[in-house]
Chains A and B, each alone.
Chain A
Amino acid sequence: MAKRIIYPLYQLGNPQLRLFRPTFNLTLVRPGKEQPPDTVQFRIPMEMTKFDVRNYLEKIYSVPVAAVRTRIQYCTNKKRNHLNQRVKRPDYKVAYVQLAQQQTFQFPDIFPEKDKKHEEGSVEEMQEKFMEDERQRQKPDPRRGGVTEWFGL
């Protein structure tokens, strides 16, 4: 299914084309620039249109969509690899979706700092302890009051 998909030809009077088992993947991204509170930013495949995005979100995720705007981000073909060949970074399409019903969305922090507690007697715990001891040893003498060893006495 990943090869070039050719959709059936549409002529006036044909029924609406329906896709079962879509292969499109939407990626929610954190906006680079500040966006209004009701705007959600997605990276979508190049073949998708605004109508596709709207139907996708409404039918599969039941998210009420008020407006969709899209743009295509051109990525560089200037970078060169170790063989001096130009390497293209793939282009992608960005969709800005505005939610209906006065809903807001704030991109959450998915990687919060968590205190890792290693189990007793494990290798990681011993390593942590060793690193702590090393750091303590490397600290300058607190009695010198911040003055470095360079100044003798």
Chain B
Amino acid sequence: MAAAVASRLTAAICRQFQRVVTVSSHTQPQYATQALSKFHSCQPRQMYDSWWFRSSMNNRALHTSCVRKGLEEFFDLPENWGEQTVKSGAPWTAKQLRVKSNEDLHKLWYVLLKEKNMLLTSEQEAKRQRLPMPSPERLKKVERSMKRLDTVVKEREDALRLLQTGQEKGRPGEWRRNVFGKTFWYRFREHPIPWYLNSRYKRRRFFEPSHVAPYTRLSLEKYLRSKIRKEKRDKRNQKRFAAMFPKKTALA
């Protein structure tokens, strides 16, 4: 199963031109076993998805040596040291990530995390040496990929929770009115003691005092006024545009 996963992973993604890897189960079984035994440190790097390199033409050996027991992963490949630009593919889109299984997403998260650490190391060292960092757009790409991955995982969690329990939100909460008269969604926190023993919580008032009530009414009136004005404005504009561009000219 892990071998199939590894082969699927590596067949689907690549990082740069030089390090495209396609591991098919029948050609290189030793890589699959290596992936099984030393998973985290010898994982082939698959941050960026460039589908046009998924062909089996480029087949270069994996960087699977674990010298330095992993501290080397904080740095780029040695052949990229000193380059002005480093080639990288496009970031992961949410659409591509939704196709992946949960295990794949979990592994991809750690791959992206390690890549981000490497880029941050490179950025800091560049600042230290007062040199430009090669290809800083990689950082943005990785951040966006991670954010989208998080979105996809949250979607799946939400769906599961809705199906199993019917709860819409993971964290319970309720509508409350604060001291200023504003209604807001208060999210609960976990406490070891009940609220009536919590002196700091009791100082936080969730009701509006009587002298604030007129101001709530005024702000409500302001909000309604602006809403009505907007509707009237839209209607007026619509009439004006209908007069300026009658339907006859559109059809002709």
Contact = CB atoms under 8 A, between A and B. Distances in A.
Interface of A: 1, 6, 8-9, 11, 20-22, 25-30, 40, 43, 57, 59-64, 103, 105, 108-114, 116
B41 interface: yes
B117 A27 contact: yes
A108 B75 contact: yes
A126 B192 CA distance: 73
Interface string B127-153: 011010000000000000000001001
B95 interface: no
B113 A111 contact: no
Interface of B: 38, 40-41, 66, 68-71, 73-76, 81-84, 106, 109-110, 113-114, 116-117, 120-126, 128-129, 131, 150, 153, 189-192
B81 A112 contact: yes
> Of B70, B131, B150, which is in contact with the most chain A CB atoms at under 10 Å from its CB?
B70
Contact of B120 (A25, A105, A111): A25
Contacts of B153: 21
Contact of B70 (A21, A29, A61): A61
Given A1-B150, A62-B41, A103-B69, A25 B117 contact: yes
> Of A6, A60, A61, which is in contact with the most chain B CB atoms at under 10 Å from its CB?
A61
Contact of B190 (A1, A9, A27, A28): A9
Contacts of A57: 70
A62 B71 contact: no
Contacts of A6: 189-190
A22 B71 contact: no
A63 B120 contact: no
A25 B82 CA distance: 24
B74 A28 contact: yes
B129 A111 contact: yes
Contact of A105 (B71, B113, B123): B71
15 contacts: A21-B109, A21-B153, A25-B113, A26-B120, A60-B40, A61-B41, A61-B69, A61-B70, A61-B114, A62-B66, A62-B69, A63-B69, A110-B122, A111-B131, A112-B81
A114 B41 contact: no
A113 B106 contact: no
B38 to A, nearest CB: 8
Contacts of A40: 71
Given A28-B71, A112-B82, A114-B82, A43 B113 contact: no
A25 B116 contact: yes
A48 to B, nearest CB: 13
A61 B73 contact: yes
B106 A111 contact: no
A127 B68 CA distance: 43
B190 A8 contact: yes
Contacts of B70: 57, 61-63
A129 to B, nearest CB: 20
Given A40-B71, A110-B81, A30 B125 contact: yes
A132 B71 CA distance: 42
Contacts of A63: 69-71
A9 B189 CA distance: 9
Contacts of A116: 84
